C-alpha cells in the first residue's frame, strides 16, 4: 500500500498555460479570489448571483439554520429558463445559435435562441394542456435529440420538475424511477440511433408503464419512424400535439422561488433503490453558470461541446442549463463516437468549428485505441480548451488528449464533481499549471480536505476520504421523499464537523493538488457511468435460477472498471456457459447494457460479515490476488 501512496515522480510534472491563455482567461488569478471566496463566501456567491436575472432579489444568501438542509438565495424569485432563454431574446443573442445538433445518420438541426424559445414555449403549453402543474414531476426517457432539452426546459418554464432517465437504461430502472417520482406524464421517443441501430425506447417505455401504472399520458417523439405500439387514450405523438392551436398560445415563464424544485435525477447509491437527488432553480443556476463560465472560460464566440448524455448530471448542468444561461452555442450529437468511423467526433469538431470539448476518460481511451491517424485527418485548430469528467483520467490518456487532440496548446480541465454537487467542485482553471491525472484545486467557495474516519487530515500524499467542509449553492437539497437517507448517506459520518462525505478516496500532494483515487463505497464506475452493486445484484437475483449474487468492479483498460459477478444458483440448477450468457443478458434487459457483467463466476458461498453483509472487498482482493485484509468480521 505504501508504495502506491507515495508521491511518484510524475506528480512533479507541470503543464503550464500559454501566454495567450493567460492573457485572455476570464479569471486571471486563482489564489487571491479563492481566499476572498472563503473569507466572504456569501459575498462571493451574491456577486455571481447578480449576473442572473431575478424577478425579486434574495433577502439572505445562505440559510444554514437547518443544516445540512441548506437554503440559498432565500426569498429570491427567478426561473432558470428565464435566464437560459428569455433574457437573451431581448438582446442580439436572439439570433445567435443556441443549439447545433447532429443525428447519428448525419441529419442536422440548428436552433437560434429565438427558435429554441418557440419550441420550448409550445411544448410547455402542451404539458399544461395535459394537466401538468407546478411541482409535478415529468419523467423524460429519450435519445440525445433536441426534444430532450426542449422537454426539460419546457418543464422548468412552467414550474414542473423533470426526472430524466438515461436512454440506455432498461425496463426495471425506468419503472422504478417513474414510480418513485409518481410521474403522470412520460415523454419518450420511438427510438434513437446508436451505432447504426435503432434503440427501442418506446418498447421499453411500454413495458415499464405496465409495471408502473402512474403514467396517464405518454408523449412520443417520432425520431426513427419505426413501428411502435401506441395505446389509445394514453399515447400521443409529439408532432401531433405540437401542431395543435393550444401549442401556439403565449406561454409565460413561471415565477419560481429560488428553493423550488427544478429536477430530480436518480443516481446509484450503496444500497437498495436509486436515490432521487433534488436540485433547485436558484442555487443550481448560479453554481452551474459560474463554474462553466470560469472553468471553461466561456466567450461569446465559443462553440461548446459537452459530449455527455443529457440523461446524466453532466448533460443536465453542462449541455442544457449552464451553457444556455451563459448564452453559448451548444453542440449536441446523438450517436456513438466511432460511427461510422472512429473520426466521427474529429470530423464534427472540424465541420462546426468546436472550440471546447468536454468528455470522459473512457471516451478518450476508446478513441485513442484507433490511433492518431484518425484525428490527424482533421483540422482541429478551432479547439482552445479541453475537459474531462467522470473518473480519474490516467496520465497516458491525458497526454494523448493533450498532444493529439489539443496539439499541446489546449489546457485540460479535469473536473471532479458528482450528481449531488450539481457542478464542478475540484477543478483547474485555464490559468492553472496542470498535472496529468490531477483535478488540481477546489473551485471558489469550496473548502475540501482528505481525512481519516475521525475527520483528522491524513498526511500529505496519503490516501483518505474526501470531504467538503462548506456548503455551496449547487448542492443537492435532499433525496426526493427521503430526507433521512440524505443525512445518513452524506452527512452522518462527519456529523459533528458538519462536513459532506463525497464517497471518494483521494490524496493531496505537497503542491496542494488533489488526486482522486475512486469510490470507497459500493458504487462502481463503468465507462464513467455510475452503478450500484446493489442494483446489479438485484437484477441478477430477479432471475429464477439465482439465489444470491455479489457484484464487484475490477480494473479494465477501456472502461476504467468492469463488472464481475459472483452467483449462487438455486438448488438443483447447474451452472453452464449458456446460463452465464443468459444471466448477463438478463441483467442487460433489466438494467440496460451498461449494467451487463463482464464475467460471472458460479460459487457455493459468498464471504459475509456476521450480520450478513456481503464483503465485496474480500471478493475483490481474491480476484486480484491481493491480501484480503482484516477478516475479523468475516463469518466463518
Ligand atoms: C467520479 C459525474 C475522478 C467520482 C459528474 C465521483 C471523478 C463520481 C471525476 C460521481 C474526475 C467524477 N476525476 N473521478 N474528474 N469526476 N468522478 O454522480 O468517483 O455520475 O464521486 O457525476 O464520479 O459520479 P456522477
Please give the number of the atom of ligand 1 that sits closest to the Cα of 388. 15
| Ligand 1 site, CB within 6 A | 267, 312-314, 388-392, 414-419, 439, 502-504, 516, 518-519, 525, 530
Please give the number of the atom of ligand 1 that sits closest to the Cα of 426. 15
Q: Which of 419, 530, 532, 559 to mutate to test the pocket of ligand 1 (most atoms within 8 A of CB)?
A: 530
Cα 193 to ligand 1 centre (Å) = 27
Nearest CA to ligand 1 atom 5: 418
Please provide residue 526's backbone torsions phi and psi, each rounded to the nearest 5 degrees.
-110, 120
Nearest Cα neighbor of 185 from 209, 158, 159, 150 is 209
Cα 234 to ligand 1 centre (Å) = 38
Cα 633 to ligand 1 centre (Å) = 30
Q: What is residue 6's predicted lDDT score, i.e. its pLDDT?
A: 36
Cα 546 to ligand 1 centre (Å) = 32
Cα 453 to ligand 1 centre (Å) = 21
Cα 277 to ligand 1 centre (Å) = 15
Q: How far is CA 129 from the centre of its chain?
A: 31
Cα 494 to ligand 1 centre (Å) = 21
Cα 470 to ligand 1 centre (Å) = 19
Cα 500 to ligand 1 centre (Å) = 15
Please give the number of the atom of ligand 1 that sits closest to the Cα of 503. 21
Nearest CA to ligand 1 atom 6: 418
DSSP string covering 482-542 = -HHHHIIIIISTTTTTTPEEEEEEEEE-TTS-EEEEEESSSEEEETTEEEEHHHHHHHHHT
Q: Are 516 and 392 within 8 A, CB to CB?
A: yes
Contacts of 98 (CB under 8 A, 6+ apart): 85, 88, 111, 112, 113, 115, 116, 324, 329, 330
0.75 surpassed by pTM: yes
Nearest CA to ligand 1 atom 15: 416
H or E stretch at 19: helix 19-24
Q: What is residue 10's predicted lDDT score, i.e. its pLDDT?
A: 63
Q: What is residue 317's predicted lDDT score, i.e. its pLDDT?
A: 98
Cα 436 to ligand 1 centre (Å) = 16
Nearest CA to ligand 1 atom 7: 391
Q: What is residue 133's predicted lDDT score, i.e. its pLDDT?
A: 97
Nearest CA to ligand 1 atom 22: 418
SS3 119: helix
Please give the number of the atom of ligand 1 that sits closest to the Cα of 518. 19
Nearest CA to ligand 1 atom 23: 390
Cα 45 to ligand 1 centre (Å) = 24
Cα 268 to ligand 1 centre (Å) = 12
Predicted confidence (pLDDT) per residue in 429-484, tens digit? 999 999 999 999 999 999 999 999 999 999 999 999 999 999 999 999 999 999 99
Nearest CA to ligand 1 atom 25: 418
List per-block mean pLDDT (blocks of 10 residues) for the chain, which spans 636 residues.
41 90 95 98 98 98 98 98 98 98 98 98 98 97 98 98 95 93 98 96 97 96 97 97 96 98 89 87 98 98 95 97 98 96 98 98 94 97 97 94 98 98 98 97 98 97 97 98 96 98 96 94 88 88 93 92 95 95 94 93 89 84 85 69
In 3-state terms the chain splits into helix, strand, coil percentages (rounded to 5) of 35, 25, 40
Instruction: Report the chain's C-alpha Rg in angstroms.
Output: 24
Peptide bond into 68 cis (omega under 30): yes
* HSE, side-chain direction, 13 A CA sphere, residue 432: 29
Q: Which of 311, 315, 389, 434 to mutate to test the pocket of ligand 1 (most atoms within 8 A of CB)?
A: 389
SS3 290: helix
Cα 416 to ligand 1 centre (Å) = 6
Q: Are 275 and 265 within 8 A, CB to CB?
A: no
Nearest CA to ligand 1 atom 4: 391
Cell 401506441, located at residue: 230
DSSP string covering 152-211 = HHHHHHTT-EEEE--TT--HHHHHHHHHHHT-SEEEEES-EEETTEEE-HHHHHHHHHHH
Distances (CA, A) of 223 to 98, 109, 198, 330, 613: 21, 13, 10, 21, 45
Q: Please, what is the end-to-end C-alpha distance for the chain in angstroms?
A: 27
Q: What own/partner pairs with CB < 8 Å and gap ≥ 24 does 391-395 have?
A: 391/360, 391/361, 391/362, 391/518, 391/525, 391/528, 391/560, 392/361, 392/437, 392/515, 392/516, 392/517, 392/518, 392/560, 393/361, 393/364, 393/436, 393/437, 394/361, 394/365, 394/437, 395/10, 395/436, 395/437
Tally: H helices and E strands in the chain = 22, 30
Q: Which of 390, 438, 532 to mutate to test the pocket of ligand 1 (most atoms within 8 A of CB)?
A: 390
Amino acid at each position: 500500500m505504501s508504495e502506491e501512496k507515495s508521491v511518484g515522480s510524475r506528480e512533479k510534472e507541470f503543464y503550464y498555460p500559454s501566454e495567450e491563455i493567460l492573457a485572455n482567461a476570464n479569471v486571471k488569478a486563482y489564489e487571491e479570489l479563492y481566499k476572498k471566496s472563503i473569507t466572504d463566501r456569501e459575498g462571493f456567491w451574491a456577486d455571481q448571483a447578480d449576473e442572473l436575472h431575478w424577478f425579486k432579489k434574495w433577502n439572505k444568501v445562505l440559510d444554514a439554520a437547518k443544516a445540512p438542509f441548506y437554503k440559498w438565495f432565500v426569498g429570491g424569485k427567478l426561473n432558470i429558463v428565464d435566464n437560459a432563454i428569455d433574457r437573451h431574446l431581448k438582446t442580439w443573442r436572439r439570433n445567435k445559435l443556441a443549439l447545433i445538433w447532429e443525428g447519428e445518420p448525419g441529419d442536422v438541426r440548428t436552433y437560434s435562441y429565438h427558435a429554441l424559445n418557440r419550441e420550448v414555449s409550445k411544448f410547455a403549453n402542451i404539458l399544461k394542456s395535459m394537466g401538468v402543474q407546478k411541482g409535478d414531476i415529468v419523467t423524460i426517457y429519450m435519445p440525445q435529440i433536441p426534444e430532450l432539452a426542449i422537454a426539460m426546459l419546457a418543464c422548468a418554464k412552467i414550474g414542473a420538475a423533470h426526472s430524466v432517465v438515461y436512454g440506455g437504461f432498461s425496463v426495471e430502472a425506468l419503472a422504478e424511477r417513474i414510480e418513485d417520482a409518481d410521474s403522470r406524464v412520460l415523454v419518450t421517443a420511438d427510438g434513437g440511433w446508436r451505432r447504426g441501430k435503432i434503440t427501442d425506447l418506446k418498447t421499453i417505455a411500454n413495458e415499464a408503464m405496465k409495471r408502473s401504472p402512474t403514467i396517464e399520458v405518454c408523449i412520443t417523439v417520432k425520431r426513427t419512424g419505426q413501428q411502435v405500439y401506441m395505446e389509445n387514450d394514453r399515447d400521443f405523438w409529439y408532432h401531433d400535439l405540437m401542431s395543435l392551436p393550444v401549442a401556439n398560445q403565449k406561454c409565460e415563464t413561471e415565477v419560481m422561488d429560488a428553493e423550488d424544485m427544478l429536477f430530480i435525477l436518480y443516481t446509484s447509491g450503496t444500497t437498495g433503490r436509486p436515490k432521487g437527488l433534488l436540485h433547485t432553480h436558484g442555487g443550481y443556476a448560479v453554481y452551474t453558470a459560474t463554474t462553466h463560465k470560469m472553468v471553461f472560460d466561456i466567450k461569446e464566440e465559443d462553440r461548446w461541446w459537452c459530449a455527455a448524455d443529457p440523461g446524466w448530471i453532466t448533460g443536465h448542468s453542462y449541455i442544457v442549463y449552464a451553457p444556455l444561461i451563459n448564452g453559448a452555442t451548444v453542440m449536441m450529437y446523438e450517436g456513438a463516437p466511432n460511427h461510422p468511423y472512429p473520426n466521427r467526433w474529429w470530423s464534427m469538431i472540424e465541420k462546426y468549428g468546436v472550440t471546447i470539448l468536454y468528455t470522459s476518460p473512457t471516451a478518450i481511451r476508446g478513441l485513442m485505441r484507433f490511433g492518431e491517424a484518425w484525428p490527424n485527418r482533421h483540422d482541429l485548430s478551432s479547439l482552445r480548451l479541453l475537459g474531462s469528467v467522470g473518473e480519474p483520467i490516467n496520465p497516458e490518456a491525458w497526454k494523448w488528449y493533450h498532444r493529439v487532440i489539443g496539439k499541446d496548446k489546449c489546457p485540460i480541465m479535469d473536473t471532479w464533481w458528482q450528481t449531488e454537487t450539481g457542478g464542478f467542485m475540484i477543478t483547474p482553471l485555464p490559468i492553472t499549471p496542470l498535472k496529468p491525472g490531477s483535478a488540481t484545486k477546489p473551485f471558489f467557495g469550496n473548502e475540501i480536505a482528505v481525512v481519516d474516519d475521525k475527520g483528522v487530515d491524513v498526511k500529505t500524499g496519503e490516501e483518505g476520504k474526501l470531504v467538503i467542509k462548506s456548503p455551496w449553492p449547487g448542492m443537492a437539497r435532499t433525496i426526493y421523499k427521503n430526507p433521512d437517507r440524505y443525512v445518513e448517506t452524506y452527512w452522518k459520518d462527519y456529523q459533528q464537523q458538519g462536513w459532506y462525505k463525497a464517497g471518494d478516496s483521494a490524496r493531496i500532494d505537497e503542491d496542494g493538488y488533489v488526486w482522486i483515487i475512486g469510490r470507497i463505497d459500493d458504487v462502481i464506475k463503468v465507462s464513467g457511468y455510475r452503478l450500484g452493486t446493489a442494483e446489479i445484484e438485484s437484477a441478477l437475483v430477479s432471475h429464477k435460477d439465482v439465489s444470491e449474487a455479489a457484484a464487484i468492479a475490477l480494473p479494465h483498460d477501456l472502461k476504467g472498471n468492469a463488472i464481475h459477478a459472483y452467483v449462487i444458483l438455486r438448488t438443483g440448477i447447474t451452472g453452464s456457459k449458456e446460463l452465464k450468457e443468459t444471466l448477463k443478458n438478463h441483467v442487460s434487459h433489466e438494467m440496460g447494457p451498461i449494467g451487463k457483467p463482464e464475467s460471472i463466476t458460479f460459487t457455493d458461498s459468498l464471504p459475509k460479515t456476521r450480520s450478513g453483509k456481503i464483503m465485496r472487498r474480500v471478493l475483490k482482493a481474491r480476484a486480484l490476488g491481493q491480501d484480503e485484509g482484516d477478516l475479523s468480521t468475516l463469518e466463518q
